Structure 1
Amino acid sequence: MSELGPAIDSYLAELGRQNASAHTLRNYRIDLREFLEYFSPPGAQPPSPAMIGVLQLREWLGSLYDRGLSVISIRRKLAAVRSLFKFMMRQGTVQTNTARLVRTPKAPKRVPIVPTAEQTNKLVDGVAAGRFERPHPERDLVLFELLYGCGLRISELSGLNLEDFDFGERWIRVRGKGRKERQVPYGSKAAAALEKYLVKRAAGPKERALLVNHRGARLSDRGARGIVSFYARMISGDASLHPHSLRHAYATHLLSDGADLRAIQELLGHARLATTQKYTQVSLTDLMAVYDRAHPKARKHRPAT
């Protein structure tokens, strides 16, 4: 029997013991099960991990391209396989992390699409207005105030517990990628929204989650995304706006108002400054648009009238 399947099970169990996020566990489980299926032809056992070489991995990557997957998805799947091989090296199952010898597909450089400050404020103010018959309008407003006011990832937001808040000093302890913790401040509008919500928070007797659903249990990532999509569609007429759009807006608007790039990196929980620097590209794009509209040298020649 091949060691590949049991190695995947052991690795996923190890991730669970390391308190990897539910989002990470779900994605790695899907990616590695697909990897196992690729190397498990009908009626045959998969090869031993030591027999999977660079050529076989390149063929596997080629199959992902053939399926029409995006480069981002392929990069994520390759990262999962590299982590698996790293684990198998520690366990003595393989001698080399062969997956590291495969070149990572180059991701296209994309400038995030960011709503303007006016658009974002219109959306959040629309939520605060309470014009829609929603079961938990106070909770919905807290969700938007923290997404835009603190730049949280949706998984970070849904993972917040009551004890993560310093309500006096207005600080939140946020657990980000890799369970790394950071401290994020929040403003007066978020504080006012929290105060109103906590009075009406209808949670189960032992539930410590900040945001809860109609059953009194923790609001899931999917539930939070649905709330954002509803208000975006109803207020902005744009159902494509998602929670990460508000994180992009948070960073871009801070930068536009003069915040230091290093400070924004800390607030967002980015491990690398290069990740934060993409927001400078957004600001430069906006700046060029202003230049094209306003500067005499940029305007097209107008015929005399």
Structure 2
Amino acid sequence: MEELPEDMDALLEEYGRNLRLGRNRSAHTVRAYLGDARSLLAHLYARSADSAIRELDLTLLRSWLAAQSARGAARTTMARRASAARTFTAWLTKTGRLTADPGLRLGSPKAHRVLPAVLGRQQAVGAMEAAESGAAQHDPMALRDRLIVELLYSTGIRVSELCGLDIDDIDRERRLVRVLGKGNKERSVPFGGPADAALGDWLRFGRPAFVVAASGRALLLGRRGGRLDQRQARTVVHEVVSAIPGAPDMGPHGLRHSAATHLLEGGADLRVVQELLGHASMATTQLYTHVSIERLKKVHDQAHPRARG
């Protein structure tokens, strides 16, 4: 971590408090924005030990981004850092540290849209069946792992949302799960029969084997009875999917991508998928239409006698 003068460290502490108060930013976003602000100040300080905040101008912002690019930062990372810099300079201007906001004229590198890896339908079925087979003997850990992959694929929820679920968030009668998503926005997402069966087995035979006083109402538990963490969930998904021949390497987000793609391929309306996934913007959901089109083209190329030549 870059060494900065005490006054700059104090400034960053104040900025961090401001970030935590506004816009319901996640802890991960706050850490990223603070890290970018620290890097920017270090770039300013490296120019001269006597540098002051008021010297932070558009030229310096651009040279900082150029230095990040020279170190091999990806375009998506560059775009995020430009956004973080604009947020920082806007705050500096608002609090009177800058007389004019140089971030207003700072452009962002356009991030390449990377089509997410998804499972084929039969691969997804194979992964779910493998998890079900592993849980056939009612081993508590296998029951939990089966529920993890079934819920992620059936609902398309984020891994953070999965790990945050409590027992009371599940309505088995209506097959709905209540999810607290980004920005503390709540939504209800349906789940299917196989996920319900996995849920029933976990609650009856699996969860009681892990429960301790500190478990509370957490739905999914780790080995020691605490709430399941995201790292454990990623390991489970990776192990289940990696056993399927030809399946791409993926974690929980890959199951979310797969669920969205298969919904659209099955005829689901784009706005319905947007609501199910909890996307604030339709543009995010539209990425999955490109995935579906790419998969359609691939199948056409392989299957149609006049596709090549």
TM interval, short-chain normalised: 0.7 to 0.9
Partner of 1:105: 109
Give the letter aligned to residue 117 of structure 1: R
Instruction: State the shift of 1:4 in Å.
Output: 4.1
Decide whether aligned partners of structure 1 residues 230 and 297 sit closer, same or farther in structure 2, where only a CA change above 3 A counts. Answer: closer
TM-score normalized with structure 2 length: 0.85
Partner of 2:42: 37
Decide whether aligned partners of structure 1 residues 36 and 220 sit closer, same or farther in structure 2, where only a CA change above 3 A counts. Answer: farther
Instruction: State the shift of 1:54 in Å.
Output: 0.8
Give the letter aligned to residue 122 of structure 1: G
Instruction: State the shift of 1:188 in Å.
Output: 1.6
Cα displacement string for residues 248-302 of structure 1 (whole angstroms, at most 9, x for unaligned residues): 11111000000001111111111221211121112222222333334443254xx
Please give the residue correspondences for 1:1-305 in structure 2 after superposition, counting only pairs within 5 Å.
4-17=8-21, 20-41=25-46, 44=49, 47-48=52-53, 50-130=54-134, 136-199=141-204, 200-201=206-207, 202-206=210-214, 207-236=216-245, 240-300=249-309
Decide whether aligned partners of structure 1 residues 203 and 51 sit closer, same or farther in structure 2, where only a CA change above 3 A counts. Answer: farther
Decide whether aligned partners of structure 1 residues 119 and 203 sit closer, same or farther in structure 2, where only a CA change above 3 A counts. Answer: same
Task: State the alpha-carbon separation in 2 of the partners of residues 191 and 85 from structure 1.
Answer: 49
Q: How many residues are aligned here?
A: 299
Query: 5+ residue gaps in structure 1?
Result: 301-305
Decide whether aligned partners of structure 1 residues 204 and 120 sit closer, same or farther in structure 2, where only a CA change above 3 A counts. Answer: same
Aligned partner of residue 184 in structure 1, secondary structure: strand
Task: State the alpha-carbon separation in 2 of the partners of residues 147 and 209 from structure 1.
Answer: 16
Give the letter aligned to residue 91 of structure 1: T
Whether contact under 8 Å (2:119, 2:247) holds in the other structure is: no
Task: State the alpha-carbon separation in 2 of the partners of residues 95 and 204 from structure 1.
Answer: 56
Task: State the alpha-carbon separation in 1 of the partners of residues 107 and 254 from structure 2.
Answer: 30
Cα displacement string for residues 222-244 of structure 1 (whole angstroms, at most 9, x for unaligned residues): 22212222222334476722221
- Aligned alpha-carbon RMSD (Å): 2.8
Moved more, 16-25 or 107-116: 16-25
Partner of 1:303: none
Decide whether aligned partners of structure 1 residues 177 and 132 sit closer, same or farther in structure 2, where only a CA change above 3 A counts. Answer: same
Task: State the alpha-carbon separation in 2 of the partners of residues 95 and 43 from structure 1.
Answer: 21
Identity across aligned pairs (percent)? 39
Decide whether aligned partners of structure 1 residues 299 and 69 sit closer, same or farther in structure 2, where only a CA change above 3 A counts. Answer: closer
Task: State the alpha-carbon separation in 1 of the partners of residues 75 and 262 from structure 2.
Answer: 29
Aligned partner of residue 40 in structure 1, secondary structure: helix
Query: 5+ residue gaps in structure 2?
Result: none
Task: State the alpha-carbon separation in 2 of the partners of residues 295 and 88 from structure 1.
Answer: 59
TM-score normalized with structure 1 length: 0.86
Aligned partner of residue 243 in structure 2, secondary structure: helix
Moved more, 235-244 or 192-201: 235-244
Give the letter aligned to residue 110 of structure 2: K
